[in-house]
Chain A
Amino acid sequence: DAEITQSPRHKITETGRQVTLACHQTWNHNNMFWYRQDLGHGLRLIHYSYGVQDTNKGEVSDGYSVSRSNTEDLPLTLESAASSQTSVYFCASSGTRGSTEAFFGQGTRLTVV
């Protein structure tokens, strides 16, 4: 069965370090998204991609970057981790044909100390 997976599920890092969160989908979806969710709050869009070599900034993109070199993967990089980036990160993908739904990963819990 097709799926979307995130790794790692949990990570603790130090302030100032570069961190990369992985997202891999086997749906062959063109659209991929990264969200963050802080305790007790809704999901906020960080970056998104509508296809290979395409990336776009979302609502809260400062301090984050993404690259899309193939259809399956959209890694999220925190250039220099800050305590304010402690959060749960969700990756999602969706197709481009008709009114298709998005599928979400299980999330990555990142703690910056």
Chain B
Amino acid sequence: DAKTTQPPSMDCAEGRAANLPCNHSTISGNEYVYWYRQIHSQGPQYIIHGLKNNETNEMASLIITEDRKSSTLILPHATLRDTAVYYCIALKFSGGYNKLIFGAGTRLAVHP
């Protein structure tokens, strides 16, 4: 699976959009981009994933560049509860075998 690079930390004001970048320049055509987050010491929580197209769900939006070398996770109206470590993971599916390898992630701090 391709290596991903994320900034170690970011700040965001409450109510503003949080845009978390991820670089995956070596991603292959059949690798998905997954985002998880970990709030304090809880288990990681799935946010969203995509392959080529932009995706949106009730939690966030995922924008993937046309060349697929980078992506951005957007939390449209960040709240204090969105303070967490966010992980971007490139993941290939091979017959349903899909182990997640976590990097260091981005520590997002949402402030009032």
Task: Please tell me if A64 contacts chain B, counting CB pairs below 8 Å.
Answer: no
B99 at the A/B interface (Cβ < 8 Å)? yes
Contact between A101 and B42, CB atoms less than 8 A apart: no
Chain B binder among A11-19, A68-76, A91-99:
A91-99
Task: Give, as a whole number of angstroms, the nearest-CB distance from B82 to chain A.
Answer: 18
Known A99-B49, A99-B93, A101-B34; judge A94-B43 contact (CB<8 A): no
Kindly state the separation between the CA atoms of A48 and B99 in the bound complex, as whole angstroms: 8
CB of A85 within 8 Å of the partner chain: no
Give the total number of A-B pairs whose CB atoms are below 8 A apart. Answer: 64
Q: Is A43 an interface residue (CB 8 A)?
A: yes
Q: Given that A97-B96, A99-B49 are known contacts, is A45 also in contact with B41, CB under 8 Å in the complex? A: no
Contact B41 A107 (CB under 8 A): yes
> In the complex, how many angstroms separate the beta carbon of A108 from the nearest chain B beta carbon?
10
Among A45, A58, A92, A97, which residue has its beta carbon within 8 angstroms of that of B43? A92
On whether the beta carbons of B105 and A103 are closer than 8 Å, the reply is: no
In the complex, which residues 21-65 of chain A have their Cβ closer than 8 Å to any Cβ of chain B?
30-31, 33, 35, 42-45, 48, 50, 58-59
Chain B residues positioned under 8 Å from A105 (CB to CB): 43
State how many angstroms separate the Cβ of A27 from the closest Cβ of chain B.
13
In the complex, the chain B residue whose C-beta lies closest to that of A99 is B32
User: What separation, in Å, do the CA atoms of A104 and B102 have in the docked complex?
Assistant: 13
Tell me the residues in window 1-59 of chain B with beta carbons closer than 8 Å to chain A beta carbons. 32, 34, 36, 38, 41-46, 49, 51
Residues of B within 8 A of A77 (CB): none
- Which A-B residue pairs are the 5 nearest by beta carbons? A96-B96, A104-B43, A101-B46, A43-B102, A42-B102
Chain B interfacial positions (CB closer than 8 Å to A): 32, 34, 36, 38, 41-46, 49, 51, 85, 87, 91, 93, 95-105
